[in-house]
Amino acid sequence: MKALVWEAPRLMRMRAQADPAPQPGEALIKVAYAGICGSELSGYLGHNALRVPPLVMGHEFAGEIVALGEAARAQHPNLATGQHVTANPMWYCGACGFCARGQTHLCANRRLIGAHRPGAYAEYVAVPAELIAPLPTGLTLRQGALAEPVAVAMRIGELAGPLGGEAALVLGAGPIGLLVLQVLLAQGARQVLVADLDAARLAMAAELGGTPLDPRAADVAAAARAASGGLGVPVSVDAVGAAATRASCVSATRSAGTLILSGLHEETSAMPAAEIIRREITVRGSFCYTRENFAAAIAALQSGSIRLDPWIVEAPLEDGGAWFDRLIDAPGAVAKVLLIPKSLFEKGCARGYAPRTSLFKQLLRNSEIPLRWACGSMVRVQLLCAVLRAERGKPHTIRRQSTALPKAGSANFISPKTLVGSTNRGVWVPQRAGTLA
């Protein structure tokens, strides 16, 4: 199989590896979607001690069971080959005191898929059967791949508790911040302030019901006090994990309030301890989720009460490294990137295409390239590919691409001068091209 392997800070390569063989108590899953998590971004930079290269990351995923170990088949009769599933990637021993209390995410012997063992940035991943969650009827594989980050938000919401018409604050409008925003509103928050430096992400937060704040233009703590009768918010959430955001949350939280730390961007940082002490602020960490949180996440996705659309990008697994770089350097209006193995991406080419790094380089060389909803390389024939016409000022048309690739200079090619941006699905469109059909 092909796998995307993290080999050093800011270095990922596609490698051929042997297909994983499931152990007796495991299932082999053919990966359909694997999301990029913020904790993996810090790992990609080399800032996360949990992840050591070479490593196949990927702990947010969904796919199809293609094989079951003998023990897994016997002990989990609810599982079967051909079944669409996701998985709680945090393995727990089931025997320690934390597991006995239902705090499996704090298990003293816990192991994370995509950190302690190979993850889902590959065509196949082996998963302990007890971690697998079958997807209910009506829940797609694409939605199922979001269960893990939604479960993170559910845990934060559980720690925050009911908000009874109060205001709350979330620092960071990345995927977790956007999901937490929705959870806090569902738990009765009258207003949720969301702070971020990225204008596109603030726009996403506003569309989901948040009150956007740019810390460069507004004092976050002052805004929190203004929204809460001068007291500060009763609950603040740091979904970034930097010294500045942690300190900002302390300043914005009222005396006897609760600050929930979720972001892991910096492993260590200074905290204003004296202010925390003198105002009796409760500082809580929120790590992963319980089994109940994970089940609640699946239920929320099935009901449609929580979402990251329309800001989800689907991209071929081969482009994973390029997307890691973009999410770190300039994420823009992207709430989640779902990586798809090449063979499945080609079959689902009408979903959208995130351009390959090689295509960017080709543009920089001032050459013309075909823009197709498919993999960036010369895809074999008989794929349904959308082709954008590059005639300036005219709406593009979509047609079936024939066996022969279009020739340079034809209407099915687009030059660098006409490229102005990307849609939320990563498809580059010409200026004034109109809406994708």
CATH value at residue 214: 3.40.50.720
End position of a domain, from candidates 285, 301, 330: 285
Kindly tell me the burial class for residue 396, based on how many C-beta atoms sit within 10 Å of its own C-beta (0-12, 13-18, 19 or more): buried
Mean per-residue pLDDT of the chain: 83
Q: How far apart are CA 420 and CA 432, in angstroms?
A: 9
Q: Which two tokens stand for residue 125?
A: 């991943």
**Residue 203 predicted with pLDDT over 80:** yes
**Separation in Å, CA 228 to CA 166, 233, 234, 277, 320:** 7, 6, 8, 21, 42
Same domain, 190 and 77: no
* Same structural domain, 6 and 133: yes
Q: Which residue segment(s) compose the domain that 401 sits in?
A: 350-432
Share of the chain above pLDDT 90, in %: 74
Mean pLDDT for the stretch of residues 313-320: 96
Give one word for 313, left, alpha or beta, with left for phi > 0 and alpha for psi -120 to 50: beta
Q: How confident is the model at residue 430 (pLDDT cuts 50, 70, 90)?
A: very low
DSSP assignment letter at 93: -
Enter the tokens of residue 387: 């082709």
Split at pLDDT 50, 70, 90, the class of 280 is very high
Task: Using the 3D structure, point to which of 91, 125, 146 is the last residue of a domain.
Answer: 146
pLDDT digits (tens, 9 = 90+) for 349-396: 434 333 333 333 333 333 333 333 233 332 222 222 222 322 223 333
Task: Calculate mean pLDDT across residues 242-257.
Answer: 97
Q: What's this model's pTM, rounded to 2 decimal places?
A: 0.80
pLDDT score of 437: 27
For the segment 336-349, what is each residue's pLDDT rounded down to a tens digit? 999 999 878 766 54
Tell me what pLDDT residue 261 has: 98
The encoded tokens of residue 61 equal: 């995923």
Residues 236/224, Cβ–Cβ less than 8 Å = yes
Would the pLDDT of 429 be above 90? no
The pLDDT value recorded for residue 348 is 59
Whole-angstrom distance, CA of residue 225 vs CA of residue 433:
45
- Does some domain include residue 313? no
**185, 209 contact by CB (below 8 A):** yes
Cα dist. 338→47, 309, 354 in Å? 22, 12, 10
- Provide the sign of the torsion angle of the four alpha carbons 206, 212, 214, 215, taken in this order: negative
Q: What is the pLDDT of residue 311?
A: 95
Shared domain for 25 and 63, answered yes or no, is yes
Residue 107 in any domain: the answer is yes
- Mean pLDDT, residues 198-208 taken together: 97
Q: What angle do CA 175, 179, 182 make, to 5 degrees?
A: 150
The answer to whether 428 and 316 have CB atoms below 8 angstroms apart is no
Please tell me what DSSP assigns to residue 380.
Answer: P
Give the lowest-confidence range in 14-28, 106-120, 161-175, 393-407. Answer: 393-407
What pLDDT is attached to residue 4? 98
Is residue 220 included in any domain, yes or no?
Answer: yes
- The pLDDT score that the predictor gives to residue 347 is 67
Q: Which of 365, 368, 361 is nearest to 388 (CA)?
A: 368
The pLDDT assigned to 412 comes to 39
Amino acid at 157: G
Would residue 373 count as lying in a domain?
A: yes
Q: Nearest-CA neighbor of 32 among 345, 337, 322, 353? A: 345
* Same-domain status, 162 and 255: yes
Helix (H) or strand (E) holding 305: none
Given 146, 179, 210, the domain boundary residue is 146
Structure tokens at 209: 């019901």
Tell me the C-alpha distance between 348 and 342, whole Å.
10
Q: What is the CATH number of the domain that holds 137?
A: 3.90.180.10
Give yes or no for a contact between 208 and 177, defined as CB atoms under 8 angstroms apart. Answer: no
Predicted confidence at residue 240, as pLDDT, reads: 94
* Residue 232 within any structural domain of the chain: yes
Q: Count CB neighbours of 418 within 10 A.
A: 18
pLDDT digits (tens, 9 = 90+) for 85-115: 999 999 999 999 999 999 999 999 999 999 9
